[in-house]
């Protein structure tokens, strides 16, 4: 495991942040987050924000360019 990935089930439930690597990372819930994976079942958190490196040491606790995904209104 690297600082950028975590071993999780081969088919994680993308709707459940608790099943993703680094569930405490503030990247979860950010519109710039992309989840990528490899054949060995590792899932990577990739940042799609152009001013940030694609792969940052996780878990991220502060980010000046975080853009929260709008929560659906009940």
**Long-range Cβ pairs for the range 10-17 (8 Å, 24+):** 10/41, 12/43
Half-sphere exposure of 2 (CA within 13 A, CB side): 9
Helix (H, G, I), strand (E, B) or coil at 71: coil
Of 17, 26, 35, 59, the residue at the interface with ligand SF4 (CB under 6 A) is 26
Name which of 10 and 36 has its Cβ closer to ligand SF4.
36
43 contacts ligand SF4 (rule: CB under 6 A): no
User: Total residues contacting ligand SF4 (rule CB under 6 A)?
Assistant: 13
Contacts to ligand SF4 by CB under 6 A: 26-27, 30, 32-33, 47, 49, 52, 56, 60, 63, 65-66
């Amino acid at each position: 495991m690297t600082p950028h990935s975590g071993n999780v089930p081969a088919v994680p439930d993308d709707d459940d942040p608790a099943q993703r690597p680094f569930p405490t990372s503030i990247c979860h819930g950010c519109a710039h987050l992309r989840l990528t994976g490899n054949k060995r079942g590792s899932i990577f958190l990739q940042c799609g924000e152009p001013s940030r490196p694609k792969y940052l040491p996780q878990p991220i606790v502060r980010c000046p360019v975080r853009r929260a995904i709008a929560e659906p209104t009940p």
